[in-house]
Amino acid sequence: MKLLGRRTECARLDVLLKAMRGGASDVLVLSGEAGIGKTALLDYAVRCAADVRILRASGVESEMELPYAALHRLCLPLLDGVDHLPGPQAEALATVFGMRAGDRPGPFLVGLGVLNLLAEAARGGPLLCAVDDAHWLDEASAQAIAFVARRLRAESILMLITSRTPIPSMRGLVELGVEGLAPAAAGELLDSVVRWPLDDGVRAALLAEARGNPLALLELPLASPDRLAGGFGLLEATALTGRIEESFRRRIAELPADSQELLLLAAAESAGDPVLIWRAAAALGLSPDAGGACEDAELLTIGVRFAFRHPLVRSAVYHAASAEARRRVHRVLADATSREADPDRRAWHLGQAAERQDEAVAAELEASADRAQSRGGLAAAAAFLERAAALTPDPVKRAERELLAARDKYHAGAPEGAQVLLDKVESGPYDELRSAHVLQLRGHLAFVTGSAALAPSLLLEAARRFEVLDPVLARETYLDAIIYALRVGRFADDVTVTEVAKAAAAAPAPRREASEEPRAQDLLLDALAVVYTEGHEKGAPLVRRALDAFSPDGLSIVEATRWLSLACYGAFATWDDVAWERISAENVRHIRAAGALGMLPVAHSQRMLAHLHAGQFQAAADLLEESDAIVAAIGVDRPAYDVAGVAAWRGQTDQAFELLRVAEDAAGERRDGNGLMFVRYASAVLLNGLGRFGEARDAALAAANPRGSAFAYWALTELVEAAVRCGDRALAEQAVEQIAALTTPSGTDWGLGTEARMRGLISEGAGAEAEVGAGPGAEAYYLEAIKRLGRSRGVMDLARTHLVYGEWLRGQERVAEAREQLSTAHGRFAEMGAEAYAERARRELAACGVSVAGPAAQKAVELTEQERQIARRARDGRSNAEIGAELFLSGRTVEWHLRKVFSKLGISSRRELRSVLS
């Protein structure tokens, strides 16, 4: 039976249910205001799917701080299948669901575990997952559910989600906005409720006020029928949601006292556990018959759990009660909750029941915060700590707990809440060390809240304060200040990286035993301090020593990500592409294995650059796709310059320039100086490939800064080539000397090979009278560059050296030798997919009398990007589960894609993939 006035919406659900039964998977978010009919549509879908397995859960406002609470309710019927999942995924779910103790898993492993848990359950038949009131999901559950929703493909699963407000982690999911009923349907619904004569004017006013909201049409007339006669009640200036809630309050007030108290118990105990609620009801002396009146009033359903008719009923019950009444039921619920089985829920109730400050309760809440962190619930930990702080009588201890809560809120992605808590910390007793911690956290918060220019100065001041209080923390904060100064670059607020480096160089040395090896991060700080105060000649050997000491072994996830990412910067800033390759690969592998989903995009960015340097453009694009999946799964923003960089290296002019423009605007808006330098450097790379040397010179000049980021250093190489081709020899020579000051101390084949190529370019002669002049020494430099770069990972740089050497040979009229170099360059460019440079080499070959065909025609049968990635991994021997873990897919979806791959390629087994895929 269709819902009144919902023919279109019901038809949409019918189509999805039919596709689900046919083996397809899909997701739909039903959005709209309170009472608009989202839950009714969800109920319709559940009734229509009576023949399939159904999992259902709802967000509960009072459980928003309990990590994975909603996800646990959704997956509860499937928990027997957890141990059949791949080991890391099984361990992650068992930990967050409290089935066994373990280290905190990352959201990636949890999401992937739930995806495969649902996929395996659907092997027995279609599966409908209905998630109501998603705006009240705890953050961890919302992220996991959004992750799963984005990765459904061929599991025969339909996920329906309702939400009153947009949820950041779910943005981009297919959405159906549920609007008010059409006038005719609204009038029909109103008439079904009001069975007594109603003044036409009042009826029209009611319809206008309700705006087609079904719950308003059902509840408002019943709230006070006597007030409808004159219509005066409609003049109250309250929001529609408030009016609906008020109508529920009036109906609640008409119930017997026992029934009202039972409703309040159910509202306070959001899990709806009937055993717990009846145990607490008995302690309050409530009659077992108290529930009957609640059900008769259609406010509550009592079965396997206590379920309110609508979330606004719960809200109306809880907020209508006095503060003392709420504390009383929380106190009884705490007493009824097992300390051993559910200590966190008990602590939460104790915290809500406390009338005054109580250190014993505060200590229990702090212990719950520790447990929440171990399960991956930083938001929950912050909530427990915030309540613990409020109940702490000792001002000093209260400030300490507020600081810890602020730190957890920051890491949980709630910077505004962290700022509020820091203000409270500063209003408490003064403590020098705590004040330095506050300053440090304010520095990190500044970077993520639109005040990035302040971050370096705040961290610099915090590090100076830490020097006499905690030298180890001082040094770590100096490192943070250096990296922020580099990232903010030109936008920094009166603090340069040199100033930070000078302060770091003067900081006390770390204390350690004579036999104790120095920490890698201490070595890196000392090295970078020298680099930015005394130059690369003295600093580069120190950086190499620090990089050799870096390893993720023995580091926590946060430490490994923090220090390995910084070590990557040290590697490519000192032209050490061997260390860059090792550390960037270790960083991605470590974070992925740990399931630290939110940390992967930054690691991917550094790894992507390593792939571009090595000419592995497809691998870089694969990382972009993986990052896109992560960003979509957790609903975060990321810089726009990664995708622009890949397009620039590939020479995809149709889209690269627009992507670069967007990325430059975004970097400026974010005050990301490092990102801005990268965009301009990437623009120069693209423009040199296209032979637009004047524009390339301008872009490189805008990026080049010997005291700036690594991208500014690399931009100097683009400036040399562009300036030489424009005849600006003086500018090119100046840039070469700046490059040599960086590359000569590096002692690496990449650095020295790059320097040799630059010296070859400026040795070609002024060239004013010819496209390429004859200059002494050019050939020797080019041959040295080819030799050195051939030993490095710089495949792109090597190919570009063959190109400029071939161009020089053609200018010397050594056509046969030019053809050899240009052919080598063209072949390398074509193989890696560098279209702009391949076309430049093709034109040079044509000038040498060699005809080279354009890009090969596409094969008649093409695989999609995802099919290609899956096929390549299957060819290399990975199992479906391993492929799914890498690409964030369920094993069933991988299996489905492989069947399509086999069909397209005309093969029947994995063994044949090796022969048909290069």
- CATH at 14: 3.40.50.300
Q: Which residues of 395-430 are buried (b: 16+ CB within 10 A; e: fewer)?
A: eebbbbbbbbbbbbbbbbbbbebbbebbebbbebee
Q: What is the CATH number of the domain that holds 897?
A: 1.10.10.10
Is residue 873 situated within a structural domain? yes
pLDDT value for 418: 87
Helix (H) or strand (E) holding 240: helix 240-253
User: Has residue 531 been placed in a domain?
Assistant: no
**pTM of structure:** 0.65
- Residue 157 dihedral angles phi and psi, to the nearest 5°: -125, 130
C-alpha pair distances (Å), 631 with each of 171, 441, 597, 834: 10, 25, 9, 27
What's residue 158's pLDDT? Answer: 96
Structural domain span for residue 274: 251-336
Q: Buried (b) or exposed (e) across 671-694, using 16+ Cβ within 10 A?
A: bbbbbbbbbbbbbbbbbbbbebbe
User: Which CATH number does the domain housing residue 637 bear?
Assistant: 1.25.40.10
Pairwise CA distance, residues 905 & 61, whole Å: 52
Residues 93 and 28 in one domain: yes
Q: Are residues 223 and 329 in the same domain?
A: no
Q: Residue 433 corresponds to which amino acid?
A: L
Same domain, 40 and 94: yes
Q: What is the tally of structural domains in the chain?
A: 5
Give the per-residue pLDDT at 29.
96
pLDDT score recorded for residue 373 = 65
Beta-ladder partners of 287: none
Q: Note whether 222 and 259 are same-domain residues.
A: no
Domain endpoint, select from 314, 336, 358: 336
325 and 300 inside one domain: yes
421 belongs to a structural domain: no
In a domain, 790, yes or no: yes
Q: What is the pLDDT of residue 770?
A: 35
Concatenating the DSSP letter of every residue in 132-175 gives E-GGGS-HHHHHHHHHHHHH-SSS-EEEEEEESS--GGGTTS-E
As given in the structure block, the two tokens for residue 347 are: 């602590």
The segments of the chain whose pLDDT lies below 70 read: 1-2, 194-203, 205-206, 208-210, 219-244, 270-271, 309-311, 373-379, 412-414, 450, 490-494, 514, 552-562, 591-599, 629-640, 705-709, 765-776, 853-861, 865, 918
Q: Residues of 199-230 as b/e, b for ≥16 C-beta within 10 angstroms?
A: eeebbebbbebbebbbbbbbbbbebeeeebee
Q: Which of 847, 879, 899 is the last residue of a domain?
A: 847
Q: Are residues 207 and 78 in the same domain?
A: no
Whether 730 and 758 map to the same domain: the answer is: yes
The pLDDT score that the predictor gives to residue 224 is 45
Question: Are the beta carbons of 695 and 687 closer than 8 angstroms?
Answer: yes
Asked if residue 546 is part of any domain, the answer here is: no
Instruction: Determine contact, residues 456/485, Cβ cutoff 8 Å.
Output: yes
Task: Say if residue 113 is in the same domain as residue 187.
Answer: no
Q: What is the 3-state secondary structure (H, E, C) of 183-199?
A: HHHHHHHHHHHCCCCCC
Shared domain check, 873 and 779:
no
pLDDT at 222: 57
Pair (171, 187) in one structural domain: no
Q: 661: which 2 tokens? A: 């423009």
The residue from 305, 336, 367 where one domain ends is: 336
pLDDT single digits (tens) 243-262: 667 777 888 888 999 999 99
> What per-residue confidence (pLDDT) applies to 62?
72
Segment 495-510, tens digit of pLDDT:
788 888 899 988 888 7
pLDDT, position 252 = 87
Strand residue runs (E) in 320-456: none
CA distance 348 to 383: 10
Q: Which residues contact 915 (CB under 8 A, 6 or more apart)?
A: none
Exposed/middle/buried for 535, CB within 10 Å: 0-12, 13-18, 19+?
A: middle
Alpha helices in 793-888 (DSSP H): 795-811, 815-832, 835-847, 865-875, 880-887
List, in sequence order, every residue forming a beta bridge with 27; answer none if it has no partner: 159
CB 754 within 8 A of CB 738: no
* 474 within some domain: no
Residues 648 and 663 in one domain: yes
Does any domain span residue 515? no
Please tell me the predicted confidence (pLDDT) of residue 267.
86
Predicted pLDDT of residue 861: 53
Quick check: is 208 in a domain? yes
Query: Are both 50 and 171 inside the same structural domain?
Result: yes
* pLDDT for the residue numbered 698: 95
